[in-house]
Amino acid sequence: MNYLTALLILSTTLCGDIHVFNRSAGTESEIKTLSNTRSLYISAKDLAKSFTSKIYENTERQKIVLYVSGVKVKISGNSSYIIIDDKAYQMPENTKVSDSDLYLPAEQFLNILKSTILPGINFDSKKELLEIDVVRFNITDINIDVKSNGTIIRLDTKKPFSERNISSFINKHGWYYLTIAGAIIDTTTINNGLTRGVVRQIESDQISNTAQVAFKLRSKVISHDWYQSLDPNQIVITLRTPLGQIDNHIESVKDKWRLDMVVLDPGHGGKDPGAIGKYGTREKDVVLDIAKRAGKLLEKSGIKVFYTRDEDVFVPLLERTKMANETNGKLFVSIHANANKNRKVQGFETFLLRPGKSEDAIDVATRENSVINLEEFTDQYTDLTGEALIMATMAQSMFMKESEDLASIIQMELDKRLNTPNRGVKQAGFYVLIGASMPNVLVEVGFLSNPAEEKKLKQDNYKQQIAEALYQAIKYFKQTREKILARE
């Protein structure tokens, strides 16, 4: 097995540095640390050296990119998100910035690496020991083809395996298992493979030096078999079904819920300008421009768009979700620009409809909800506080997981493009989200109260970057959602 073994031992000296011994390279080094009352933080730059990996850094934007085992790992300063191979993962604590370096919460970060791209990593905080096996995967990818009489699964491998080390069976619950001794599998790539045909779900696991891939089947198969291809190196699985069975299933899926209509909600409008910046920039103008730019991109890709307003008019808050429901919207994205008494505050954040937990989130919701003072009939909002708000959010709980996923994807896409802090996903009681019978989020794209950020939000290029981020996030969410539908 081609792998690199390294031992990282936490020093007991007062400086708290981690001593690194790289067995493969025969070198030793140190990793600087920071600590607080809860967690130990490790230097991202020093960690990259311990992996002998490439590193890219942008000090101005407080971003570092590591290349761990050939996979890109993006880290941002003062953010709880890390991006591994373009997928976002959230840690309970933010990274820290010190001396032009980023420091990562050790256990949290290393656990994410272990569950994604480095299954051989083991951290023992009590023994102050971190052991790393940088494994070279020999099962690297998966592709599924659908034929009229069945489904063909191809597992890409780096080498052929002895046939006596491969076995397969189908259990009584409709799972097909393939077990390969001596294989090291890229579980992240395999588990995220696109399901098609008779395959509803994919689950892979690394058990010591044996890899196992399980496929949940959507229907019974007449027969199953596997063989090895040497050019290219693949393990090919054939699952035979009655002629036409898969075609019938595909047709039935087309009649189910599809993300074919996105509702974009530019905040404020008409007599309600929203936040106003130092230089007179109005929130209602900025967000309408961004919404139209994002909508244009979505329409080009074949997704229909409905705007709650496409000009400078006032629309009551609860009317917005009512319009979304009446047009059979499948996704509701409300776009806003933020404001804060502290003009130094900057960055972007995405909100879910739940009672607010943090003071900042409650302040934002209070400001956005204050528009009801401009409406003619405000009695409809009198019951939307306290327990009534909790009940309203519970009524939308069937979309909460999807809303959380969409919010995380939006934050990830904005973080790729904007040179401003990622303030994460938060929750608060926004009236504009109440009643939406679909996944829904509210995006605050920046702070008009911050003069520097106000200048950015006036620039066409910057607004286009935000629109691109929203478009890519919705597109990715659509693909993921329809992949799930194909399993049902």
Judged against a pLDDT cut of 60, whether residue 462 lies above it is answered with yes
Q: Which residues pair with 28 in a beta bridge?
A: 21
Mind listing the pLDDT tens digit for each residue in 424-451?
Answer: 988 754 554 565 678 888 899 999 999 9
The pLDDT-based confidence of 458 (bands split at 50, 70, 90) is very high
Mean pLDDT over residues 294-316, rounded? 92
Query: According to the model, what pLDDT value does residue 203 have?
Result: 93
Tell me phi and psi for residue 16, to 5 degrees. Answer: 75, 15
pLDDT in tens, 395-404: 444 577 888 8
Query: Tens of pLDDT along 350-387?
Result: 987 654 344 454 444 444 444 434 434 444 434 434 33
Q: What is the pLDDT of residues 70-129, one digit of tens each?
A: 778 999 999 989 998 778 888 989 999 998 899 999 889 988 887 777 776 777 777 677
Strand partners, 146: 151
What is this structure's pTM?
0.50
CATH number given to 139-240: 2.60.40.3500
Rounded CA separation 63/367 (Å): 31
Whether 423 contacts 361, CB under 8 Å: no
Whether 311 shows a pLDDT value over 70: the answer reads yes
Question: Which among 188, 87, 80 is positioned nearest to 479, based on CA atoms?
Answer: 87
* Fold exhibited by the domain 18-132: Copper Amine Oxidase; Chain A, domain 1 (3.30.457)
CATH number of 248-486: 3.40.630.40
Task: Give the start-to-end residue ranges of the domains of the chain.
Answer: 18-132, 139-240, 248-486
pLDDT digits (tens, 9 = 90+) for 118-153: 776 777 777 677 777 666 788 989 999 988 788 999
Looking at the chain, the whole-number percentage of residues with pLDDT higher than 90 is 39
What mean pLDDT comes out for the span 320-346?
88
Asked if the bond preceding 232 is cis, omega within 30° of 0, the reply is yes
350, β-bridge pairs: 425, 443
The residue that leads in pLDDT, 320 or 395, is 320
Task: Tell me whether the omega of the peptide bond preceding residue 451 falls within 30 degrees of 0, making it cis.
Answer: no
Give per-residue pLDDT as tens, 185-239: 888 889 888 888 899 999 998 887 899 999 999 988 888 999 988 888 899 999 9
Q: Can you tell me the distance from the alpha carbon of 295 to that of 303, in angstroms, rounded to the nearest whole number?
A: 9
Please, what is the Cα angle at 44 between 43 and 49, to 5 degrees?
100
Q: How confident is the model at residue 250 (pLDDT cuts 50, 70, 90)?
A: low
Mean pLDDT of 43-56: 83
User: What pLDDT is recorded for position 387?
Assistant: 38
